[in-house]
Copies of this chain bind each other. A is one copy, B any other.
Amino acid sequence: MIIQRAVQAKSLESENPFGHRAGEADAAAIDSMGAPMTFHRNAEIYGEHEPAEYLYKIVSGAVRAYRMSSDGRRQIAAFYLPGDVFGLENGELHGFSAEAITDSKILVIKRSAITAMAERDTAVARELWAVTSRELEQVQQHLGVLIKSAEERVAGFLLRLLRRVPGATQIRLPMSRQDMADYLGLTIETVSRVMTRLEAAEAIALPSARCVVLRDEARLSRVHH
């Protein structure tokens, strides 16, 4: 367990630029049954191999799901943003650890309550299936990015983030360069270099390290190939 303090993260939360995931039916059962909880920056939400007793839905903030390999490298499998549901496993145990990236407000629901409902209400069952299915789609997108060059990975990552908020022209990255690197299978140095290169190419602007302004979507897409 990590001891954390709510230092300078408060402003980040309220400025969070990510909207509710678009184009999907709302998870009504989860919304109505969830108990809101607050997790501070870097707080562990659950650990790998722990029993998967709860389901989570982000109201505000951001979460990373990751796994450590034996030699100490970290693989971030997914970032979750407001509207996303996570923590749903097929087995009884979590396959990943989850941590809050910034101070986050998260709905927490007992898994057994949801699965019990799903046995009687086919709408809830469909909802559960849709959550897993959407997550599968996300991970497959991620796969597509990982086989490419460093520039394509970073460009693809930024585009996917930007497209979560239709029409958005800038985003505040909740995650560090190290988080991005562990997600993209690169080093922090490479991520940093590519970001500066993208700025030099006038595809994006970087008023600060955590703030990305989209300057030329077509050019960013072209880098992404």
**Does A225 lie at the interface of the complex (its beta carbon under 8 Å from any beta carbon of B)?**
yes
The reply to whether B146 and A146 contact each other, CB–CB distance below 8 Å, is yes
Name which residue of chain B comes closest to A147, CB basis: B185
For residue A137, which residues in chain B have a CB less than 8 angstroms away from its CB?
Answer: 90, 95
For residue A185, which residues in chain B have a CB less than 8 angstroms away from its CB?
Answer: 146-148
Number of interface residues of A (CB under 8 A): 35
Binding-face segment, A103-111, A125-133, A164-172, A207-215: A125-133
- Hey, which bits of chain A sit against chain B, CB under 8 A? 67, 69-71, 73, 75, 77, 89-90, 95-96, 118-119, 122, 125-126, 128-130, 132-137, 139-140, 142-144, 146-148, 185, 225
Number of chain copies forming the complex: 2
The reply to whether B129 and A69 contact each other, CB–CB distance below 8 Å, is no
Given A136-B139, A140-B77, A225-B69 contact (CB < 8 Å)? yes
For residue A89, which residues in chain B have a CB less than 8 angstroms away from its CB?
Answer: 133
The reply to whether A144 and B71 contact each other, CB–CB distance below 8 Å, is no
The reply to whether B144 and A143 contact each other, CB–CB distance below 8 Å, is no
Q: CA separation between A123 and B179, bound complex, in Å?
A: 40
The reply to whether A143 and B75 contact each other, CB–CB distance below 8 Å, is yes
List 7 extra interface pairs beyond A69-B144, A75-B143, A146-B185, CB under 8 A: A69-B225, A75-B147, A90-B130, A125-B126, A135-B136, A136-B139, A139-B140
The reply to whether A77 and B122 contact each other, CB–CB distance below 8 Å, is no
Q: CA separation between A143 and B135, bound complex, in Å?
A: 13
For residue A143, which residues in chain B have a CB less than 8 angstroms away from its CB?
Answer: 75, 77, 139, 142-143, 146
Name which residue of chain B comes closest to A135, CB basis: B136
Partner of A129, one of B71, B132, B134: B132
For residue A67, which residues in chain B have a CB less than 8 angstroms away from its CB?
Answer: 144
For residue A125, which residues in chain B have a CB less than 8 angstroms away from its CB?
Answer: 118, 122, 125-126, 129
For residue A118, which residues in chain B have a CB less than 8 angstroms away from its CB?
Answer: 122, 125
Q: CA separation between A126 and B132, bound complex, in Å?
A: 12
Q: CA separation between A158 and B70, bound complex, in Å?
A: 19
Partner of A95, one of B70, B71, B95, B140: B140
Partner of A133, one of B69, B90, B126: B90
The reply to whether A147 and B146 contact each other, CB–CB distance below 8 Å, is yes
